[in-house]
Structure 1
Amino acid sequence: MAAGCRQVLQWHRLVPLPGPRGATPPHLPRLQRPPRAAASSQAHGQGVPLPPCKGQAGAPAPSRGPAGLLQAEPSSGGQRALEPDQALRLVVDMGFSETHTRRLLGIDPGIRPEQMLMVVSELMLLGLEPDPVCKVLQKNPRILRLTDKQLKNRAKHLRQLGLGGGNLQHMAHCCPDLFTMSPKHIDALVSVLKDRCLFTGQQVTEILHSCPRVLQEDPSALEYKFQYAYFRMGIKQQDLVKTRYFQYSMTKIKQRHIFLERLGLYQTPDKKGQTQICNPSVNSVLRVPETEFLAKTAHSTSEEFEVFKKLLVREELEEKEGPSTSEEDSDSSDDEED
């Protein structure tokens, strides 16, 4: 990974970036400090050597490094134009296997090699390893269509939320759409967690890391999920984070919780937070397979639970249709009286 990061930084140093010539993005200085040996070689203008391509064993030394490869005229996007074979060599030198690299180049044939290199290097600077980078781009090829500025802004935004390195590895695997989501949508969800649900900044970061699919929720639906846990189930913020409550669907939460309520095994706490029985833990309700939940927590059968699920669906439909149905009944009764 260290060798790959050095190669990523070499790529960033050689590719022209938007803004004044020679300007350095604000998030790179800390990462650009090379090891002592590398620093001395870069001070003399030497590039990081790359493995020669087939048939180029006797090629001049400059053509073997990134500096030699990037002597072409900049493309319209502000990046040096590269041939596919040249891009392949650079990506392999970042730590990717040749198989993964060729797969990357084949994800979107319409993407220029230099654009693909820019995206790959930005993802690695965020802390992703080569294998997760390859999987993320395969699951969400739209990332390759992001401009240099868009990707850097998203990277900066994720760092501000405390999501980088190991945290991002897990999030990218579970929610590859993370990189193409609107920053406004992410900010709206974070605002709900902080302002409406009263989670601390550290707790929000932990929720986003442990339950990355929360980013795909609608803000109002996310607030309702919190209110259901806090007021109906009596679960406080700290326990919601610890038990990873937000990773479960609202359907599953209501099915298991209401089933236990109907059996008299779960009570909503009063205003003082007290109950007449000892409610089962969140883990024993949600974090176990259905068979274990029924056997150890609900002490019921799968047949009874399946019947209850169907009844619950019918009840919810009737609740939604309730106002219109009651109005029709009242209208018909008025007609009868006339």
Structure 2
Amino acid sequence: MAGLPLLLPRGAGRALVAGRALLAALRPCPRRGCGEAAALRAMGFSQEQARRLQGLQPRLGPERREAVAAQLLLLGLSAEAALALLEQSPELLRLPTEQLRERAEELRRLGLDGGRLERALSRCPQLFAVPRKRLAAAVRLLRERCLFTAEQLREVLGTCPAVLLEEPCSLHHHFQYAYFRMGVRQKEMVKARLFQMPFAELRNRHIFLERRGLYETPHKGQIQTNNPKLKDILQLSEKDFLASLACSTLEEYEVFKKLLAREEAEEGKEEEVDALYADEDDELYSERSKTAPE
């Protein structure tokens, strides 16, 4: 009806005003001397923030910096967060703004909305540039092979966004080790933030506890164990891990890691020799088959 005000959802008015302000900031300014700094200030950057932003990728034109900065603000990042992201990864200024928008939408569909999206991008700005197939493969692995629920997946991506950059085979191996060797289930993995610790360090800590008689792989169907909590194994500093869980010293742990690395190297050599002998046996069998009388 004419004359009645347009009703908008709560918060939509602020977003509309912000969007108009950004669009206005990107239009050429008719006033003489209205340059890049003024456009950035109009978007909401302070004078100091605008100066720092102008210093990024100086070979790029100002329109490029303005467009990317505006897109990050439209995605919901604050001026401070957008600047921090671009200072951490200035190569993002070279990405098409459409790619930034589409990737943010993909992450939102995975449950990273609001503050979760901002935190994930701040921790792992490479998410903007990772190939879509790699991202889809990681998500499919976590859902279909690791059997994380949708809510658990959202929590994993929110706390450990770098999992989307991992090769699926490495990611699966990380999960399988915790599940089968350590007897940990998905709920505890999510709570402990399993994927935040590099696999090599997880394995070092687990085997160290195991060989000291402080960790036992649960039998199939066993629920209650006296093993340390995964959260403590992962989140304690090395000093606290050794003092409170392993009851050992840093010197002992360093010696153990060197010995374990030597064991792995020797096992690798043995596997190579076994594979070589297997190949030679196959070749010998093949030659005998060819020369055997019919």
- TM-score normalised to structure 1 length: 0.72
| Over 6 Å off, 4+ runs | 327-331
Match of 1:317 among 254, 265, 272: 265
Q: Which moved more, 1:203-212 or 1:106-115?
A: 106-115
User: Is the aligned partner of 1:264 residue 2:213?
Assistant: yes
| 1:272, distance to aligned residue in structure 2 (A) | 1.0
Query: Matches of residues 56-135 of structure 1 in structure 2 within 5 Å?
Result: 69=29, 85-135=34-84
Q: Report the equivalent of 2:174.
A: 225
1:87/1:271 CA distance change after superposition, 3 Å: same
Q: Report the equivalent of 2:8.
A: none
| 1:313, distance to aligned residue in structure 2 (A) | 0.5
Query: 2:176 corresponds to which letter in structure 1?
Result: Q
| 1:94, distance to aligned residue in structure 2 (A) | 2.2
Match of 2:20 among 10, 21, 25: 10
Unaligned runs of 5+ in 2: 1-11, 281-294
Match of 1:298 among 238, 246, 255: 246
Query: 1:289 corresponds to which letter in structure 2?
Result: S
* Structure 2 CA distance for aligned equivalents of residues 322 and 66 of structure 1: 64
Q: Report the equivalent of 2:199.
A: 250
1:281/1:83 CA distance change after superposition, 3 Å: farther
Query: 1:201 corresponds to which letter in structure 2?
Result: A
Cα distance per residue 1:35-72 (max 9 Å; x no partner): xxxxxxxxxxxxxxxxxxxxxxxxxxxxxx76662x7x
- TM-score normalised to structure 2 length: 0.82
Match of 2:106 among 127, 137, 157: 157
Query: 2:159 corresponds to which letter in structure 1?
Result: S
* Structure 2 CA distance for aligned equivalents of residues 314 and 84 of structure 1: 67
Q: Report the equivalent of 1:193.
A: 142
Cα distance per residue 1:62-89 (max 9 Å; x no partner): xxx76662x7xxxxxxxxxx99943322
Q: Report the equivalent of 1:236.
A: 185
Q: Report the equivalent of 1:61.
A: none
Q: Secondary structure at the match of 2:35?
A: helix
Unaligned runs of 5+ in 1: 15-64, 72-81, 332-338
* Structure 1 CA distance for aligned equivalents of residues 121 and 131 of structure 2: 15
Query: 1:144 corresponds to which letter in structure 2?
Result: L
Match of 2:163 among 214, 226, 237: 214
Q: Report the equivalent of 1:282.
A: 230
* Structure 1 CA distance for aligned equivalents of residues 96 and 26 of structure 2: 22
Q: Secondary structure at the match of 1:272?
A: coil
Cα pair 2:26 2:67 within 8 Å, conserved: no
| 1:311, distance to aligned residue in structure 2 (A) | 0.8
Cα pair 1:5 1:124 within 8 Å, conserved: no
Query: 2:111 corresponds to which letter in structure 1?
Result: G
User: Is the aligned partner of 1:175 residue 2:95?
Assistant: no
Q: Secondary structure at the match of 1:91?
A: helix
1:224/1:176 CA distance change after superposition, 3 Å: same
1:318/1:98 CA distance change after superposition, 3 Å: same
* Structure 1 CA distance for aligned equivalents of residues 65 and 275 of structure 2: 60
The alignment-based identity, stated in percent, is 41
| 1:325, distance to aligned residue in structure 2 (A) | 3.2
* Structure 1 CA distance for aligned equivalents of residues 249 and 78 of structure 2: 45
Query: Matches of residues 134-149 of structure 1 in structure 2 within 5 Å?
Result: 134-149=83-98
* Structure 2 CA distance for aligned equivalents of residues 192 and 83 of structure 1: 56
* Structure 2 CA distance for aligned equivalents of residues 312 and 84 of structure 1: 66
| 1:11, distance to aligned residue in structure 2 (A) | 5.2
| 1:93, distance to aligned residue in structure 2 (A) | 2.2
| 1:270, distance to aligned residue in structure 2 (A) | 1.2
Q: Secondary structure at the match of 1:269?
A: coil
Q: Report the equivalent of 1:57.
A: none
More helix per residue: 2
Superposed CA RMSD in Å reads 2.8
1:249/1:68 CA distance change after superposition, 3 Å: closer
Cα pair 2:243 2:249 within 8 Å, conserved: yes
